[in-house]
């Protein structure tokens, strides 16, 4: 058994069923062994996509996602995606190839100090020095990635630990200059024999173990009672739920039931979108700041008080604030809460529902919030009817997408202005069916996220909503969708602009430099990669284009709709910096 086979065995016992990669000589044994073990090897067109895909798979399944990339530029290409996973709190394992242990620092191909570059962006970074150590390091990485605040971990696997001992012995003999008898040659041969012994010692007896239970912080019974008492006393409560609350997909239905039992007005963000379906009367999508300003109790579960919450200032000064987060630093970041709880927010809400039970005392408060919700929906609907120079109104397009999707659809969103517009309108129908980059706001996640969405739920529709600026990062992955038979439905909101930036830049600085694009034929690019393309240029073509896209997807084709959208003032002044 070689090191690649040992790694494959660890992956299997940790529950991994998909391995994302871009091939490279340093990691070939891992890929071959994983395939033989029954793990689906999914190769993509950019290493960053492999990590984005691993991130999405972790979010959807709860099992750490795994990407294997080759040494040097293969590793450095992943760094943006690794940081995105870190900030999104996704348990991801990156297996990085590396030069042979005896050649480190000697100028071999793609040999750099990977650990110094990667370590600041991950929870833990390991470099294996023996075949036996591959298992120990990888199992430790899995445990670390899932425990506490989840996040990415890196395991460096030098190439001479991945092949069988006989092959490596041949390589070493070649590097040593053969069977020379001079003193220098004999010294090198002795060193290499000793080094080989250390590398392979105990390799035949080591076995992969079962996945260890993650260490998850939980709130105390006293904290639970204190929060329950405040809920009972509240007249205008609001519950804000973020991505960290849904870190346990296997218990997502229990979480949804708990939220319904608490029966508080709810705002959902990030991966929590869709938790209550599309039309639950507890759920509100608009006017969150308005509600937070008027509330007397705000419970923020798994959502930091960052720029999206006005750094805590969006909540009224007189309100009691409860924050629940696995990360102790996030509990009191930017605003000191009335009650701050370091613990898993999903588990806390489930326990809180059991403590409080149902509550129906907030009818008037619900009526107030519902009026604001209806008012905003009507305003959005009115803006969606406005003409935009004969092109497609992005609000209208989003409304028609929302009306046409299947109830089991997953949404992957990647972009600025068009995607943010769609987020006001498109409603995920089921839990864990909305994938956005998270707090890092990274463009380029779409290709990898949609790949995993289609793999994780092959019977469901996967919708990839792209801005035309963001599209360039993901277009090559339509080749991956075609090769792996993944019928992703992509929609590009094409307004020939980095509109999210241009809105304020042009108004404030009176210059559109760097923000102007072309109405590129993205549908033809997708066709060149083996997908189907649809050009959508006018409002009266919208429904037909979406019907055609869904039909092609059902027939097994990935498809890209290139929608020429016009400019609106819907999101004026919305840039975040």
Structure tokens at 213: 């239970």
To which H or E segment does residue 321 belong? strand 320-325
Q: For residues 185-206, give the mean pLDDT.
A: 74
At 287, is the pLDDT very low, low, confident or very high (cuts 50, 70, 90)?
very high
Q: Looking at residue 206, what is its pLDDT?
A: 82
By three-state DSSP, how is residue 545 classified?
Answer: helix
Structure tokens at 500: 């999210």
Is it the case that residue 172 has pLDDT exceeding 80? no
Whether the CB-CB separation of 531 and 482 falls below 8 Å is answered with yes
CATH: 3.40.309.10, 3.40.630.20, 3.40.50.720, 3.40.50.970. Which one for 3-200? 3.40.50.970
At 35, is the pLDDT very low, low, confident or very high (cuts 50, 70, 90)?
very high
Is it the case that residue 154 has pLDDT exceeding 80? yes
* CA–CA distance, 565 with 519 (Å, rounded to integer): 10
* CA–CA distance, 119 with 394 (Å, rounded to integer): 42
At 99, is the pLDDT very low, low, confident or very high (cuts 50, 70, 90)?
confident
Task: Quickly name the fold that domain 385-564 has.
Answer: Rossmann fold (3.40.50)
Is it the case that residue 570 has pLDDT exceeding 90? no
At 574, is the pLDDT very low, low, confident or very high (cuts 50, 70, 90)?
low
* CA–CA distance, 401 with 34 (Å, rounded to integer): 38
By three-state DSSP, how is residue 270 classified?
Answer: helix
C-alpha angle with apex 108: 198 to 49, nearest 5 degrees? Answer: 95
Q: Looking at residue 176, what is its pLDDT?
A: 59
Q: For residues 273-291, give the mean pLDDT.
A: 95
* CA–CA distance, 198 with 434 (Å, rounded to integer): 48
Structure tokens at 155: 């395991």
* CA–CA distance, 367 with 189 (Å, rounded to integer): 82
Whether the CB-CB separation of 432 and 480 falls below 8 Å is answered with no
Q: For residues 44-59, give the mean pLDDT.
A: 98
To which H or E segment does residue 93 belong? strand 92-98
For 345, other C-beta atoms within 10 Å of its C-beta total 28
* CA–CA distance, 420 with 491 (Å, rounded to integer): 14
How many angstroms separate the first and last alpha carbons of the chain? Answer: 52
Beta strands 320-325; 124-127: pairing state: unpaired
Q: Looking at residue 200, what is its pLDDT?
A: 80
Structure tokens at 114: 């990977």
Whether the CB-CB separation of 134 and 1 falls below 8 Å is answered with no
Share of the chain above pLDDT 90, in %: 82
Q: For residues 504-519, give the mean pLDDT.
A: 93
Q: Domain 221-362 in CATH: superfamily?
A: TPP-binding domain (3.40.50.1220)
To which H or E segment does residue 267 belong? strand 266-268
Lowest mean pLDDT among 42-56, 98-112, 167-181, 474-488: 167-181
Beta strands 297-301; 237-241: pairing state: parallel
To which H or E segment does residue 184 belong? helix 183-200
At 179, is the pLDDT very low, low, confident or very high (cuts 50, 70, 90)?
low
- Write the CB contacts of 183 (distance below 8 Å, at least 6 apart in sequence): none
Is the pLDDT higher at 188 or at 527?
527
| Surface-to-core class of residue 7, CB atoms within 10 Å of its CB (0-12 exposed, 13-18 middle, 19+ buried) | buried
Domains 3-200 and 221-362 equal at CATH topology level: yes
Measured in residues, the chain has a length of: 577
Q: Looking at residue 171, what is its pLDDT?
A: 75
Lowest mean pLDDT among 106-120, 162-176, 458-472: 162-176
Residue with tokens 């708990």: 258
* pLDDT tens per residue, range 368-395: 999 999 999 999 999 999 999 999 999 9
Q: Looking at residue 181, what is its pLDDT?
A: 60
Residue with tokens 């009672």: 225
3-state helix, strand, coil split of the chain in percent (to 5) is 45, 15, 35
For 379, other C-beta atoms within 10 Å of its C-beta total 12
By three-state DSSP, how is residue 447 classified?
Answer: helix
Q: Looking at residue 194, what is its pLDDT?
A: 77
* Mean pLDDT rounded to a whole number for the chain: 93
Is it the case that residue 145 has pLDDT exceeding 90? yes
List the domain boundaries for the chain. 3-200, 221-362, 385-564
Beta strands 462-467; 410-414: pairing state: parallel
- b/e map 133-167, b = 16+ CB within 10 Å: bbbebbbebbbbbbbbbbbbbbbbbbbbbbbbbee
At 175, is the pLDDT very low, low, confident or very high (cuts 50, 70, 90)?
low
* CA–CA distance, 237 with 265 (Å, rounded to integer): 7
Whether the CB-CB separation of 461 and 436 falls below 8 Å is answered with no
Structure tokens at 444: 């380029």
Residue with tokens 């991945």: 162
Is it the case that residue 149 has pLDDT exceeding 70? yes
Lowest mean pLDDT among 145-154, 183-192, 273-282, 461-470: 183-192
């Amino acid at each position: 058994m070689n090191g690649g086979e040992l790694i494959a065995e660890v992956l299997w016992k940790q529950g991994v069923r998909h391995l994302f990669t871009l091939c490279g000589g340093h990691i070939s044994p891992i890929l071959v062994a994983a395939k033989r073990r029954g793990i689906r090897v999914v190769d993509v067109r950019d290493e960053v996509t492999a990590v984005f895909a691993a991130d999405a798979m972790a979010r959807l399944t709860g099992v750490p996602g795994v990407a294997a990339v080759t040494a040097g530029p293969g590793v450095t290409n992943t760094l943006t995606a690794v940081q995105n996973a870190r900030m999104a709190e996704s348990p991801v394992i990156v297996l990085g190839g590396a030069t042979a242990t005896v050649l480190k620092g000697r100028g071999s191909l793609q040999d750099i100090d990977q650990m110094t570059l990667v370590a600041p962006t991950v929870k833990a970074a390991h470099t294996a020095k023996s075949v036996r150590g591959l298992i120990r390091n990888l199992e430790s990485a899995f445990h670390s990635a899932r425990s506490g605040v989840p996040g990415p971990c890196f395991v460096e696997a030098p190439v001479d630990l991945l092949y069988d001992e006989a092959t490596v012995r041949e390589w070493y003999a070649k590097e040593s200059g053969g069977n020379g008898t001079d003193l220098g040659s004999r010294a090198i041969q002795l060193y290499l024999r000793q080094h080989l012994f250390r590398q392979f010692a105990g390799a035949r007896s080591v076995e992969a173990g079962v996945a260890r239970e993650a260490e998850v912080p939980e709130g105390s019974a006293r904290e639970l009672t204190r929060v329950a008492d405040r809920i009972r006393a509240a007249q205008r409560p609001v519950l804000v739920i973020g991505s960290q609350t849904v870190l346990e997909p296997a218990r997502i239905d229990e979480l949804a039931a708990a939220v319904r039992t608490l029966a508080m007005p709810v705002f959902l963000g990030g991966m929590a979108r869709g938790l209550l379906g599309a039309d639950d009367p507890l759920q509100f999508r608009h006017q969150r700041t308005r509600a937070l300003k008027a509330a007397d109790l705000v419970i923020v579960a798994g959502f930091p008080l960052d720029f999206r919450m006005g750094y805590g200032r969006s909540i009224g000064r007189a309100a009691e604030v409860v924050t629940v987060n696995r990360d102790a630093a996030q509990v009191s970041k930017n605003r000191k809460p009335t009650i701050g709880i370091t613990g898993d927010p999903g588990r806390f809400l489930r326990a809180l529902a059991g403590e409080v039970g149902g509550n129906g005392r907030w009818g008037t408060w619900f009526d107030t919030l519902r009026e604001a919700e209806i008012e905003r929906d009507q305003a959005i609907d009115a803006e969606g009817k406005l003409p935009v120079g004969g092109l497609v109104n992005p609000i209208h397009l989003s409304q028609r997408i929302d009306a046409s999707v299947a109830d089991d659809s997953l949404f992957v969103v990647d972009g600025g202005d068009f995607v943010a517009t769609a987020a006001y309108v498109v409603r995920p129908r089921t839990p864990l069916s909305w994938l956005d980059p998270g707090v890092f706001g990274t463009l380029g996640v779409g290709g990898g996220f949609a790949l995993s969405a289609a793999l994780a739920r092959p019977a469901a529709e996967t919708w990839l909503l792209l801005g035309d600026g963001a599209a360039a990062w993901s277009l090559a992955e339509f080749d991956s969708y075609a090769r792996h038979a993944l019928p992703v439905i992509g929609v590009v909101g094409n307004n020939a602009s980095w509109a999210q930036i241009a809105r304020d830049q042009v108004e404030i600085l009176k210059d559109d430099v760097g923000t102007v694009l072309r109405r590129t034929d993205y549908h033809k690019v997708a066709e060149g990669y083996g997908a189907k393309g649809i050009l959508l240029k006018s409002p009266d073509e919208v429904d037909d284009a979406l019907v055609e896209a869904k039909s092609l997807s059902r027939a097994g084709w990935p498809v890209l709709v290139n929608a020429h959208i016009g400019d609106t003032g819907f999101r004026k002044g919305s840039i975040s910096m």
